[in-house]
Amino acid sequence: MLNYNLLIKNDNRLELHLPDAEKLSPIYADFCTPSFKYRLAKGGGRRQPLARAIGLKQNATPLVFDATAGLGRDGFILAALGCQVIMCEQSPIIHALLEDGLRRALQDPELEATARRIVLYCGNSQEILPQIGLSQRPDVVYLDPMFPHRHKSALVKKEMRALRAVVGDDLGSADLLETSLKESGRRVVCKRPAQAIFLSGPSPNFAITTPKHRFDVYLILRC
Ligand SMILES: C[S@@+](CC[C@H](N)C(=O)[O-])C[C@H]1O[C@@H](n2cnc3c(N)ncnc32)[C@H](O)[C@@H]1O
């Protein structure tokens, strides 16, 4: 009976196994699966909601700071669309899983070019983003904080429940939004569940909605 978190290297992949009592499958970052490659190929390209929220114009390759990298899916999709992506993850355990997923992506000829557009940091974006901004201000800061779900609803994906079991809820999201608005060059995008209220702070300029999610877009006007 496993009653603690365990990082295991399984078939060349780093996996986090959670205590049996959580009844959750292991979590890992894997960009090399057929289903994720299908998502990259058929996800709608630069017309998909995530790309429109980021403001991806034809041929543009903005620098995106993914301040809440998690298992890296959204950031990897943006890199596949041509963005330069700086990912930052505060949890050393989730960072280790993500680093391992990116390492394997670099060894996959179909994904190598995308993985090369990604740089990964471990730490709190509140501290790392202002440091990065000193040398290269990101065009876009992307936020996807954990949303506090009170119930273990079947609607909340098992993977998200596992992630929450490791990192807890994000309680500093409003502060992170404030820092992002200061540090971003053109816009801040915050992914929220479709029915969620805005993060506290200024209201977004507009939102792009999907059946499950909403991307709140904050435009930066600098003189
Ligand atoms: C919902 S997940 C992000 C999922 C990610 N967008 C994806 O596509 O896989 C949120 C992650 O943000 C991380 N996080 C929250 N606040 C952070 C901060 N201030 N700095 C760095 N990471 C943070 C959490 O540890 C968690 O792993």
**What's this model's pTM, rounded to 2 decimal places?**
0.95
Residue with CA closest to ligand 1 atom 12: 68
Q: Which residues line ligand 1 (CB under 6 A)?
A: 67-68, 70-74, 88-91, 94, 124-126, 144-146, 163, 167, 170, 172, 176
pLDDT at 46: 92
Q: Scan for tokens 């876009």, then name that residue.
A: 140
- CA pair distance 115, 85, nearest whole angstrom: 9
Write down the pLDDT at residue 147.
81
Nearest atom, ligand 1, residue 142 CA: 6
Q: What is the pLDDT of residue 185?
A: 96
Among 89, 95, 159, 160, say which to mutate for ligand 1: greatest number of ligand atoms within 8 Å of CB: 89
Å from CA of 223 to ligand 1 middle: 31
* Per-residue model confidence (pLDDT) at position 152: 54
Taking the chain (223 residues) in consecutive chunks of 10 residues, what is each chunk's mean pLDDT? 83 89 86 96 94 92 97 97 97 97 98 98 97 93 85 64 85 94 97 93 96 96 78
Crossing angle of helices 173-183 and 125-135, in 10° steps, is 0
CA distances from 13 to 34, 91, 149 (A): 16, 18, 29
> 145 CA to middle of ligand 1, Å?
6
Cα distance between residue 10 and residue 25, in whole Å: 14
Structure tokens at 19: 């205590």
Q: Give the number of the atom of ligand 1 that is nearest the alpha carbon of residue 145.
A: 10
Q: What's the pLDDT at 107? A: 98
- For residues 32 and 115, the answer to whether their CB atoms sit within 8 Å is no
**What angle separates helix 73-80 from helix 34-42, to the nearest 10 degrees?**
50
Atom of ligand 1 nearest to the CA of 124: 20
Give the dihedral of Cα atoms 123, 126, 129, 130; nearest 10 deg. Answer: -130
Please give the C-alpha separations between residue 16 and each of 24, 101, 189, in angstroms, as whole numbers. 10, 12, 29
Tell me the pLDDT tens digit for each residue of 124-137: 999 999 999 889 99
d(Cα 95, Cα 77) in Å, to the nearest integer? 18
State the Cα–Cα distance between residues 130 and 91, nearest whole angstrom: 19
